């Protein structure tokens, strides 16, 4: 990750309370403050392989906007009592609504650094809006026939929001190692998962991650170990639930149960009538997602001389809907699998609190944050 804003953030990070030197041996905790839950993941190395040491997802005691340092500290205390988290060092990211992520195309002049070229392009594009913003960027993998044009994923956030977030974490007794951005964390997660679970590929495989969210979803392409593309699509969990409520005239709680609770008959290979009906209702909602995935695959082929991704991973709670996996496998000629971080990074600890956490919205992102600084196997 290239840091354009070290001069802004580093002094603030250096002012945060430092932990005793002994904590330096532990891996940082990935921390994501979602819309309604605090997600925490900490890894440990077992025989050189990253495994989950501790994982927790806890609802806030109040709206997130009202969460003060003392309440966050109490929530962290609850998480530490549930799972063996160690240390207070965290890698986190700003809440999604506080950060804007865009793709910027730019060219470097002779002797010009990427950072300077990106700032110049941003100032031209955003004019005065760039003042008072904190900027981070990461280069995207370049086309094989590079003509001098480069692409970067750029994250922008108001400086006051960044400082307020750092103050909140510091006030709760946390030491912030880094603020990351979502696409970078997800690319890291997919790279690790691909290395561990796709041994048929001689090198790190090329992956498409479909990360389902409550209000929108994201298509992220990781080419080997490099992020190549990240784009939002309109498909979401809320749209699926709204469709079920409208067409089947049912309350949201029942719609959610139908969506995620798999009847025994489906597990036995004989879908019952209700499941078939639900699949038919949702198929028109899923069709645009299939189109977006195909458009992304065609675009990737145009950039990589016809090469395709080796595998498609699904993450987020919607990935647990069996009909989603079935439809995508039916419509796409590429292997499709559910990416469950808890299953991929199996822990020696098997506490009940871990059950179902792999499907929690945001846990994939949180796991990617926790993997920062952990080298993927070559």
What pLDDT, on the 0 to 100 scale, is given for residue 16?
42
User: What confidence tier does 290 reach under pLDDT thresholds 50, 70, 90?
Assistant: very high
User: What confidence tier does 268 reach under pLDDT thresholds 50, 70, 90?
Assistant: very low
Rounded-to-integer distance, Cα 76 and Cα 56, Å? 10
What pLDDT, on the 0 to 100 scale, is given for residue 77?
97
Query: Residues 168, 190: one domain?
Result: yes
CB 28 within 8 A of CB 372: yes
SS3 64: helix
What pLDDT, on the 0 to 100 scale, is given for residue 198?
56
pLDDT at 200 over 70: no
Cα–Cα separations (whole angstroms), residue 132 to 12, 69, 103, 125:
15, 25, 20, 15
Structural domain boundaries, residue 235? 208-338
Give the lowest-confidence range in 16-20, 73-77, 192-196, 199-203.
16-20
What pLDDT, on the 0 to 100 scale, is given for residue 203?
57
Supply 354's token pair.
């871990």
Query: Residues 107, 84: one domain?
Result: no
Supply 272's token pair.
């019952």
Residue 62 CB contacts under 8 Å (≥ 6 apart), including other chains: 71
pLDDT at 192 over 60: yes
Residues 202-245: tens digit of each pLDDT: 456 789 999 998 888 999 998 877 888 888 899 999 999 999 88
Query: Residues 316, 175: one domain?
Result: no
CA neighbor of 169 nearest in space, from 358, 14, 31, 327: 31
Give the distance from CA 300 to its chain's centroid. Answer: 20
Query: Residues 219, 352: one domain?
Result: no
User: What confidence tier does 13 reach under pLDDT thresholds 50, 70, 90?
Assistant: very low
pLDDT at 258 over 90: no
Residues 305-336: tens digit of each pLDDT: 888 888 999 988 888 888 898 889 999 989 99
User: What confidence tier does 69 reach under pLDDT thresholds 50, 70, 90?
Assistant: very high
pTM beyond cutoff 0.75: yes
Give the distance from CA 198 to its chain's centroid. Answer: 20
CA neighbor of 212 nearest in space, from 286, 295, 274: 286
Supply 125's token pair.
């594009």
Task: Give the single-character DSSP code of 2.
Answer: B
Query: Residues 60, 103: one domain?
Result: no
SS3 48: coil
pLDDT at 2 over 50: no
Supply 359's token pair.
């499907």
Query: Residues 186, 294: one domain?
Result: no
Query: Residues 226, 331: one domain?
Result: yes
Kindly report the average pLDDT of the chain as a whole number.
82
Between 86 and 146, whose confidence is greater? 86
Other beta carbons within 10 Å of 332? 15
Other beta carbons within 10 Å of 164? 12
Query: Whose structure tokens read 């020696």?
Result: 348
Any domain includes 122: yes
When pLDDT is averaged across residues 184-200 and rounded to a whole number, the result is: 78
Any domain includes 1: no
Rounded-to-integer distance, Cα 331 and Cα 283, Å? 11
Any domain includes 222: yes
Residue 141 CB contacts under 8 Å (≥ 6 apart), including other chains: 223, 224, 226, 227, 228
Percent of residues, the chain, with pLDDT higher than 90: 36
Supply 121's token pair.
């392009």
Residues 128-162: tens digit of each pLDDT: 788 888 988 888 866 554 567 888 888 999 999 99
Any domain includes 376: no
Any domain includes 377: no
pLDDT at 248 over 50: yes
Cα–Cα separations (whole angstroms), residue 144 to 107, 148, 199, 304:
16, 11, 26, 7
What pLDDT, on the 0 to 100 scale, is given for residue 370?
97
CATH number at residue 301: 3.30.420.40
When pLDDT is averaged across residues 73-97 and rounded to a whole number, the result is: 94
Between 303 and 8, whose confidence is greater? 303
Any domain includes 255: yes
Query: Residues 145, 236: one domain?
Result: no
Most confident region among 29-33, 95-99, 224-228, 308-312 by mean pLDDT = 29-33
Between 268 and 210, whose confidence is greater? 210
Any domain includes 17: yes
What pLDDT, on the 0 to 100 scale, is given for residue 302?
86
pLDDT at 7 over 50: no
Rounded-to-integer distance, Cα 327 and Cα 285, Å? 11
CB 266 within 8 A of CB 272: yes
CA angle (102 as vertex; 99, 103 as ends), nearest 5: 155
Query: Residues 92, 182: one domain?
Result: yes
What pLDDT, on the 0 to 100 scale, is given for residue 20?
36
Indicate the number of domains in the chain: 3
Query: Residues 118, 265: one domain?
Result: no
Query: Residues 15, 60: one domain?
Result: yes
Query: Residues 265, 153: one domain?
Result: no
Between 277 and 51, whose confidence is greater? 51
């Amino acid at each position: 990750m290239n840091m354009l804003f070290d001069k802004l953030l580093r002094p603030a990070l250096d002012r945060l309370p430092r932990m005793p030197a002994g904590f330096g041996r532990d891996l940082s905790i990935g921390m994501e403050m979602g819309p309604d839950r605090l997600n925490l993941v900490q890894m440990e190395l077992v025989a050189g392989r990253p495994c989950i040491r501790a994982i927790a997802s806890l609802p806030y005691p109040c709206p997130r906007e009202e969460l003060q340092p003392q309440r966050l500290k109490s929530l962290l205390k609850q998480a530490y009592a549930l799972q063996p988290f160690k240390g207070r060092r965290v890698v986190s990211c700003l809440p999604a609504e506080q950060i804007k992520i865009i793709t910027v195309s730019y060219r470097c002049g002779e002797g010009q650094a990427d950072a300077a070229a990106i700032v110049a392009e941003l100032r031209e594009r955003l004019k005065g809006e760039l003042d008072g913003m904190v900027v981070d960027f990461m280069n995207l993998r370049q086309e094989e026939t590079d003509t001098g044009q480069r692409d970067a994923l750029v994250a922008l956030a108001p400086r006051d929001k960044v400082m307020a977030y750092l103050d909140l974490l510091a006030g709760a007794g946390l030491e912030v190692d880094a603020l990351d951005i979502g696409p970078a964390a997800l690319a890291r997660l997919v790279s690790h998962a691909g290395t561990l679970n796709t041994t048929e590929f001689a090198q790190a495989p090329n992956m498409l991650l479909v990360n389902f969210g409550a209000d929108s979803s994201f298509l992220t392409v990781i080419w080997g170990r490099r992020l190549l593309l990240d784009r939002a699509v309109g498909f979401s969990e809320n749209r699926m639930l709204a469709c079920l409520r409208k067409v089947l005239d049912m309350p949201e709680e029942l719609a959610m149960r139908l969506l995620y609770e798999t009847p025994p008959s489906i597990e036995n290979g004989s879908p019952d009538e209700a499941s078939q009906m639900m699949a038919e209702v949702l198929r028109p909602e899923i069709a645009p997602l299939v189109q977006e995935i195909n458009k992304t695959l065609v675009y990737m082929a145009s950039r990589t001389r016809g090469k395709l991704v080796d595998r498609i991973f699904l993450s987020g709670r919607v990935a647990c809907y069996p009909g989603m996996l079935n439809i995508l496998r039916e419509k796409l000629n590429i292997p499709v699998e559910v990416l469950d971080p808890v299953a991929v990074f199996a822990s020696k600890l098997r506490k009940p609190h871990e059950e179902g956490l792999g499907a929690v919205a945001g846990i994939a992102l949180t796991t990617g944050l926790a993997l920062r600084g952990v080298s993927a196997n070559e």
